[in-house]
Amino acid sequence: MPWTTREHWYWGFVLPGRFPLLLLSVGVPFAFTPWIWGLPVALLLIIPSLVGIAGALFRWRAFFLSFLPGGKTLVERNGPVIIAERRISLTMVGSMTFEQTMMGRILDYGTLTVGAMGGPYQWENLGHFRTLRRIIESQGEWMPPTGNALFRLLGRWIRQATLWVNHARQYLLQIIDSVKFEIQMIGEYLKTPSYQRFIEFAQELLFTKNYRRFESSFGVANAYSVHFTSDEIRIYQQILKTRHIIVSDFQGRTYLHKRIHTIQDLRKHVPISWFRKAVRSVQ
């Protein structure tokens, strides 16, 4: 299937058909007015505008340039009624000029000048100019994909959107995994033996509700398993015993030492420097 281009839609259709398009834009609102004369006026404006638009469209589509796949030939076809066709071999071209204005770069149109036998030939304001230039420079070896351009564009957008969604999904999963890892690290850090956590443990165990007597089996460890790990409870209880914060009598009952009355007494008997050495030796 040949690839085809023609004069850009602005120069070939909009500019020549500007007055019919203007009449159409003025006539359509009259068709929706509540006045009784609105519909006749709308018809008087819309019918000539449609005729003018059809004529502009017919003249615009009467000319085109095309390339056959695999063929190194530029085909020009012109004429709404009497059709004139001209073929220019790209292998016989002596010179070629591509011209684009700033607006042409934006709207993708330009002027092509070909120096060949029987020429030179010049076509102004051709549409799809970037594609046209690529085909000519490759001498017809490269051809754009076939099919509807709008469908190709929509397909490319869908593929791009799908790619972005996948990248966003992967990035979001990486963020979630990083957050989970950070939370896990923070949780593990907060549950590692520390002097502050030791003070909190001792305060809850020894000074809550002014309790002074505890079971020798230390069954309270289960009550604090939510806040402290089993290793922490074991280490903290061992420190309390080593520093004689809690003592046992001959009958096996465990008491808070009589010299310990407040948390400040506990801090004096278990200074932070000694606590750190004890934790390192226990671990």
Q: Which of 40, 43, 11, 10 is nearest to 24 (CA)?
A: 43
Task: Give one word for 122, left, alpha or beta, with left for phi > 0 and alpha for psi -120 to 50.
Answer: beta
For every residue of the chain, which 3-state class applies, written as one string?
Answer: CCEEECECHHHHHHCCCHHHHHHHHHHHHHCCCCCCCHHHHHHHHHHHHHHHHHHHHHHHCCCEEEECCCCCEEEEEECCCCCEEEEEEHHHCCEEEEECCHHHHHHCEEEEEEECCCCCEEEEEEECHHHHHHHHHCCCCCCCCCCCHHHHHHHHHHHHHHHHHHHHHHHHHHHHHHHHHHHHHHHHHHCCCCHHHHHHHHHHHHCHHHCCEECCCCHHHHHHCCCCCHHHHHHHHHHHHHCCCEEECCCCCEEECCCCCCHHHHHHHCCHHHHHHHHHHHC
Report whether pLDDT(208) > 70.
Answer: no
CB 65 within 8 A of CB 114: no
Binned at pLDDT 50, 70 and 90, residue 210 comes out as very low
Average pLDDT over residues 6-19: 93
> pLDDT tens, 133-152?
988 888 777 878 766 666 76
| pLDDT value for 109 | 95
CA distances from 138 to 94, 100, 135 (A): 15, 19, 5
Average pLDDT over residues 66-93: 83
| pLDDT value for 221 | 41
Q: Indicate whether this model's pTM tops 0.75.
A: no
| pLDDT value for 282 | 67
| pLDDT value for 53 | 93
Report whether pLDDT(224) > 60.
Answer: no
| pLDDT value for 218 | 39
Q: Which of 72, 64, 119, 128 is nearest to 96 (CA)?
A: 119
Lowest mean pLDDT among 88-92, 99-103, 202-206: 202-206
